[in-house]
Amino acid sequence: MSSSTQTAQYNPAYHRFTLFLAICTFLLIVAGALVTSNDAGLAVPDWPTSFGSLYRIPPMVGGIKYEHGHRMLAEFVGLLTIILAVWTQRKEARSWMRKLGWFMLLLVIIQGLLGGLTVKMRLPWYVSTAHAMVAQTFFSLTILMTVFASRRWIGSTVTLTRHPDPGALSFRNLALLTVLAVYMQLFFGAGFRHGGLHFFPHVVGAGIATVILVWASFSGILRFGNIKPIRGASIAILGLLVIQLLLGFGAYMTRVVWGKDAVQPRPSMVATTVAHVAVGALLLAHCFMLAVQAYRNLAPAAELSPADQKAVVA
């Protein structure tokens, strides 16, 4: 096994695999959101079996299509995560990446257990909300692993110049704050979606989150626009935020205003709520990316060596 002092080597196959896992996880989030929006959480009433069998695929009709489809995709992602964890141990030189590999495996197991638990307990809001939150955390980490395995990240390890990040509220902290703000929205949004919380905290939270995300992305673009990954994440956050706010209004109109007397989930409600969950996941992942890039590319002035400072002035 490689030692932790060895420098990381770019491995295209590994990089492609982490990207594949991230894409599959995104599809799994869409599939999970389809279960909730179609009210299909108990369409398959048992777990870990499905209608008494561990391997037989039930007739994929009605809600079962969503619930069992979600389970099958989740099992596939679980399998990919086992491969990722083992592959990372065998080939990765950075010891923190190897730990992250094991952590991903732990997280996917916890997520599977939460999925089972929410079925066993007949969908209590707090278990479904925890399941929604771990899902997006896991997805964000698959995106981060893809970033850490990229040619740009590994290739710039030696030549990286860190830029000063002065001010009482540093950009690093501001970037962390965006992650917290989106988690807050995820918690309030999922709590409402699963019937445990009022809508009010989510709307107030949307105002607070919007201020923080606009502030962070504007300062990313205006102050650190010359650092490509910070500029890129900032622009993405701004764009996703606009889409997310529009989808939020759409979800509110179709679910709460027009949909409250609907006997069955309407396609317009399913589409807007599922898209709102999915774009929320992309937003969380980009806030994580912004924070990671801020920690990598910036440093409090006191931490910079004179050589770094000169490189910045030049």
Binding site for ligand HEM (CB under 6 A): 28-29, 32-33, 35-37, 41, 47, 70-71, 74, 77-78, 108, 111-112, 115-116, 118-119, 123, 128, 131-132, 135, 138, 182, 185-186, 189-190, 192-194, 202-203, 206, 209-210, 241, 244-245, 248-249, 251-252, 255-256, 273, 276-277, 280, 283
Give phi and psi for 8, each to the nearest 5.
-70, 145
What is the C-alpha separation between 262 and 159, in angstroms, rounded? 59
At position 135, the amino acid (one-letter code) is A
At position 69, the amino acid (one-letter code) is G
User: Which of 240, 219, 215 lies closest to 231, judged by CA?
Assistant: 219
Tokens of 2: 């490689």
3-class SS at 59? coil
Closest distance of CB 107 from ligand HEM, Å: 8
Q: In the complex with ligand HEM, which residue's Cβ is closer, 206 or 299? A: 206
What is the C-alpha separation between 137 and 285, in angstroms, rounded? 8
Closest distance of CB 121 from ligand HEM, Å: 10
Closest distance of CB 122 from ligand HEM, Å: 9
Element (H, E) at 140: helix 125-148
What is the C-alpha separation between 31 and 183, in angstroms, rounded? 21
What is the C-alpha separation between 197 and 128, in angstroms, rounded? 12
Q: What percent of the chain is helix, strand and coil (3-state, nearest 5)?
A: 75, 0, 25
What is the C-alpha separation between 125 and 245, in angstroms, rounded? 24
Q: In the complex with ligand HEM, which residue's Cβ is closer, 114 or 147? A: 114
Q: In the complex with ligand HEM, which residue's Cβ is closer, 29 or 147? A: 29
Q: In the complex with ligand HEM, which residue's Cβ is closer, 86 or 106? A: 106
Tokens of 134: 């771990």
Closest distance of CB 308 from ligand HEM, Å: 35
Tell me the sheet residues that pair with 163: 298
Q: In the complex with ligand HEM, which residue's Cβ is closer, 32 or 229? A: 32
Element (H, E) at 297: helix 267-297
Closest distance of CB 79 from ligand HEM, Å: 10
What is the C-alpha separation between 39 and 264, in angstroms, rounded? 9
Q: In the complex with ligand HEM, which residue's Cβ is closer, 229 or 259? A: 259
Q: In the complex with ligand HEM, which residue's Cβ is closer, 277 or 298? A: 277
Closest distance of CB 314 from ligand HEM, Å: 39
Closest distance of CB 224 from ligand HEM, Å: 22
Q: In the complex with ligand HEM, which residue's Cβ is closer, 186 or 230? A: 186
Closest distance of CB 136 from ligand HEM, Å: 7
What is the C-alpha separation between 100 and 102, in angstroms, rounded? 5
Closest distance of CB 294 from ligand HEM, Å: 19
User: Which of 212, 134, 108, 133 lies closest to 169, judged by CA?
Assistant: 212
Q: In the complex with ligand HEM, which residue's Cβ is closer, 246 or 311? A: 246
